[in-house]
Amino acid sequence: MSATIARTLDLRGLSCPLPIAKTAQAIRDLPAGELIEVLATDPGSVPDFAAWCTTTGHELVERTEGGGVYRFVIRKTR
């Protein structure tokens, strides 16, 4: 498992459901075990990414927030 971020997705400004949908699209091309970093400004993405990780089984490694931007680091598990 790698600790470096393989890909960053800048989804700032997008509204539901695009942050989740675009992350789902992007994560397909990523090998399992890799990390993806997502930047979003939609406040709804906070519960949504948690729910999405619970359902898909991907691991929400980190969640930080600053200046109105939510940053999620997700490990693709399968």
Partner 1 sequence: MAWSGDLDKIWPTFILGTTGAAMGMETTIFFTFWGLFPLVRNDVHITGENWMQKMMSMMNRGGTEHLGLSKMNFAGMGPAMMKKLAEEHKVASPNELLEVARDLGVHLVPCQMTMDLLGLTKDDLIDGLEEPAGATTALLEAQDAVTLFI
CA 46, CA 17: separation in Å to the nearest integer? 12
Q: Among residues 5, 16, 24, 50, which one is catalytic? A: 16
Whether the CA torsion 55, 61, 66, 70 is positive or negative: it is negative
53 is known as an active-site residue = no
Closer Cβ to partner 1, 3 or 15, answer by number: 15
∠ Cα 23 10 21 (to 5°): 25
**Residues 8 to 27 in contact with partner 1, rule: CB under 8 A:** 13-18, 20-25
Is 76 in contact with 33 (CB distance < 8 Å)? yes
Residues 30-69 that bind partner 1 (CB under 8 A): 52, 55-56
Residue numbers of the site for partner 1 (CB under 8 A)?
13-18, 20-25, 52, 55-56
Positions marked catalytic = 16
